[in-house]
Chain A
Amino acid sequence: MEKANFKKIVSDGLLYKNPILVQLLGICATLAVTTSVTNGIAMGLSTTAVLVCSNLFISLLRKFIMKEVRIASYIVVISGFVTAVELLIKAFLPEINKSLGVFIPLIVVNCIILSRAESFASKNSPLFSVLDGLFMGLGFTVALICVSAIRELIGAGTLLGYRILPESYEPALIFIMSAGAFFTLAFVVAGANKLLAILDKKHRKEEQ
């Protein structure tokens, strides 16, 4: 296992190992909540909060958790933080709670969090684990914003609730329905693949 370093954590989280665009993890949440940019940001940030906390604690506890029961232990830690986040959102952001609904408690089963616990936090020091959680979470948020911005703009003509396209634009309702989520995600992932291919080519040229 290569040693963790700051620069790699940042670039992996945001682009090269982006949980949605490259690893295609947590797709259910992505497809379900990206109907508006507000929802996308809210979902991204709450997941980031859970991810940072759970990565920190799992990393601290990594020497005490027995290998045989590690998944169950991770889930206990994760669900604790999800409950905390859920209660906070209910108390302070009732609007967000209304629009995200059941998808906040469902962060528990978001595979991004479990995958970071298993593949990173359980093997690295608390400091790096927190950073990894932060940038993986931000990468998730960025991808959610990309998908939800396209869907909201085409499907409702607005961004963050503000009208962008003129009144005469007739929104294509399919983009805020679930079918539109699949189209949009496919195109965003295709765009990310193209970007990665261009970066890879550039990188190879520099090495030569």
Chain B
Amino acid sequence: MSLLKVSSSPHIRHEDTTRIIMSDVIIALIPSLIFGVYIFGLRALFLTLISVLTCVLSEAIYNKLMKKPSTVRDMSAVVSGILLAFNLPVTAPAWLPVIGGIFAMIIVKALFGGIGKNIMNPVLAARVFLFASWPSHMTRYSAPLESVNSFMIGAPDAVSSATTLTDLKNGIIPSIDLFDLILGKTAGCIGEVSSLLLLAGGLYLLVRRIITWHIPVSFIATVAVLTLVFAPDGVSNISFMLYELFSGGLILGAVFMATDYVTSPVTRGGRIIFGIGCGLLTVFIRFFGGYPEGVSFAILIMNLFVWYLDRAFKPTKFGGGRKNAKA
């Protein structure tokens, strides 16, 4: 008989819950995760599992202790866990994702009011926290396809390998083939190496309308234009730009981090300015900063401007606006 019951409008509904959105993000991340495991070994999977488990448990325990409704089922903690592991080098000790996960979920997310209320991206804040606390662990990259001890708690031994960003910072084109770089056969964090698969994941999210094109495109385009125009002397501008685009965490940041619903603007104009700001800061830090990579700092800084961007690009109310002001 329930078929005959008619509720009030709207009658066409969409089950677009947080859970479904987050599941789509996970689906988009899985190819990169598999590739990370292929290129860095089983330890990549081990660190990811630890990270996911920590994030989920931190959120569940915090909600329980504070007598708040459980938000574990919305899967956002799982996404945070995967993304946090994506931001770690495979040689990180196993306690690094544990501390990072607790920091992201409790201090950056839960203490500000939980999902939807945090002012900064929890994963990036945790990455910067780990980066400032244990710089030696966060910057030791093993060479691709090198075997590292998979299930060690401490930091496994590995021949450390320079990332392409170090070369670019010194104004030279890295020796690695550009196609290998885009495919991801390079040193770096677990999930940031394969630009190709990350872009494929981003395309999936675009098709599913989970994200819009504004932030990733304006972010990447800003970096592209700046690195094309201001390439150092003696190198080809085009190849310098391409290497800059596919090095480090730019694609991962632009597609998956900067587009976080909670910490990005809601209007189209705001999103484009947000992306341009991220791009400008990234290039500034890569060119003039002390660190080779600037994506995480750039996005975190722009996160703090979201409130202003949302105000500046407030849509006009129907019937309101300047045209009708005097009538």
- Which residues of B199-243 are within 8 A (CB) of A? none
With the chains together, A21 CA to B78 CA distance in Å?
A: 37
Contact A173 B134 (CB under 8 A): yes
Contact A170 B134 (CB under 8 A): yes
Nearest B-chain residue to A183, judged by Cβ: B107
- Which residues of A170-190 are within 8 A (CB) of B? 170, 172-175, 177, 179, 183
- Which residues of B79-101 are within 8 A (CB) of A? 99
Interface membership of B313, Cβ < 8 A: no
Contact B107 A174 (CB under 8 A): no
With the chains together, A183 CA to B132 CA distance in Å?
A: 14
User: How many Å from the CB of B291 to the closest CB on chain A?
Assistant: 14
Task: List residues of chain B with CB within 8 A of the CB of A172.
Answer: 99, 133-134
Task: List residues of chain A with CB within 8 A of the CB of B137.
Answer: 170
With the chains together, A179 CA to B99 CA distance in Å?
A: 17
With the chains together, A173 CA to B135 CA distance in Å?
A: 9
Interface membership of B305, Cβ < 8 A: no
With the chains together, A173 CA to B137 CA distance in Å?
A: 12
Contact A177 B132 (CB under 8 A): yes
User: How many Å from the CB of A136 to the closest CB on chain B?
Assistant: 30
With the chains together, A175 CA to B132 CA distance in Å?
A: 9
Task: List residues of chain B with CB within 8 A of the CB of A173.
Answer: 132-135
User: How many Å from the CB of A166 to the closest CB on chain B?
Assistant: 14
Nearest A-chain residue to B134, judged by Cβ: A170
User: How many Å from the CB of A140 to the closest CB on chain B?
Assistant: 26
Nearest A-chain residue to B93, judged by Cβ: A170
With the chains together, A174 CA to B129 CA distance in Å?
A: 7
Task: List residues of chain A with CB within 8 A of the CB of B99.
Answer: 172
Contact B134 A179 (CB under 8 A): no
Choose among B133, B135, B137 the residue with the greatest number of A CB atoms under 10 Å from its CB.
B133
Contact B132 A179 (CB under 8 A): yes
With the chains together, A175 CA to B137 CA distance in Å?
A: 17
Q: B-facing mask of A155-168, CB < 8 A → 1, else 0?
A: 00000000000000
Task: List residues of chain A with CB within 8 A of the CB of B107.
Answer: 183
- Which residues of A108-151 are within 8 A (CB) of B? none
Task: List residues of chain B with CB within 8 A of the CB of A183.
Answer: 107
Nearest B-chain residue to A154, judged by Cβ: B133
With the chains together, A177 CA to B133 CA distance in Å?
A: 9
Task: List residues of chain B with CB within 8 A of the CB of A174.
Answer: 129, 132-133
Nearest A-chain residue to B135, judged by Cβ: A173
With the chains together, A74 CA to B182 CA distance in Å?
A: 67
With the chains together, A177 CA to B129 CA distance in Å?
A: 11
With the chains together, A105 CA to B13 CA distance in Å?
A: 67
User: How many Å from the CB of A29 to the closest CB on chain B?
Assistant: 23
With the chains together, A167 CA to B157 CA distance in Å?
A: 19
User: How many Å from the CB of B105 to the closest CB on chain A?
Assistant: 15
Task: List residues of chain A with CB within 8 A of the CB of B134.
Answer: 170, 172-173
Nearest B-chain residue to A172, judged by Cβ: B133
Nearest A-chain residue to B137, judged by Cβ: A170
Task: List residues of chain A with CB within 8 A of the CB of B133.
Answer: 172-175
Choose among A170, A173, A177 the residue with the greatest number of B CB atoms under 10 Å from its CB.
A170
With the chains together, A59 CA to B135 CA distance in Å?
A: 52
Task: List residues of chain B with CB within 8 A of the CB of A175.
Answer: 133
Nearest A-chain residue to B155, judged by Cβ: A170
User: How many Å from the CB of B311 to the closest CB on chain A?
Assistant: 26
With the chains together, A25 CA to B133 CA distance in Å?
A: 28
Task: List residues of chain A with CB within 8 A of the CB of B129.
Answer: 174
User: How many Å from the CB of A25 to the closest CB on chain B?
Assistant: 24
Nearest B-chain residue to A177, judged by Cβ: B132
With the chains together, A174 CA to B103 CA distance in Å?
A: 13
User: How many Å from the CB of B66 to the closest CB on chain A?
Assistant: 13
With the chains together, A179 CA to B130 CA distance in Å?
A: 12
With the chains together, A179 CA to B131 CA distance in Å?
A: 13
- Which residues of B102-132 are within 8 A (CB) of A? 107, 129, 132
With the chains together, A179 CA to B132 CA distance in Å?
A: 9
Choose among B99, B129, B135 the residue with the greatest number of A CB atoms under 10 Å from its CB.
B129
With the chains together, A37 CA to B197 CA distance in Å?
A: 50
User: How many Å from the CB of B122 to the closest CB on chain A?
Assistant: 15
The 14 sampled A-B contact pairs (Cβ below 8 Å) are A170-B134, A172-B99, A172-B134, A173-B132, A173-B133, A173-B134, A173-B135, A174-B129, A174-B132, A174-B133, A175-B133, A177-B132, A179-B132, A183-B107
A-side residues, CB < 8 A to B, are 170, 172-175, 177, 179, 183
B-side residues, CB < 8 A to A, are 99, 107, 129, 132-135, 137
Q: What 10 A-B pairs come out closest when comparing CB atoms?
A: A172-B133, A174-B132, A174-B133, A173-B133, A174-B129, A170-B134, A177-B132, A173-B132, A179-B132, A172-B134
Other A-B pairs beyond A170-B134, A173-B132, A173-B133, 13, CB < 8 Å: A170-B137, A172-B99, A172-B133, A172-B134, A173-B134, A173-B135, A174-B129, A174-B132, A174-B133, A175-B133, A177-B132, A179-B132, A183-B107
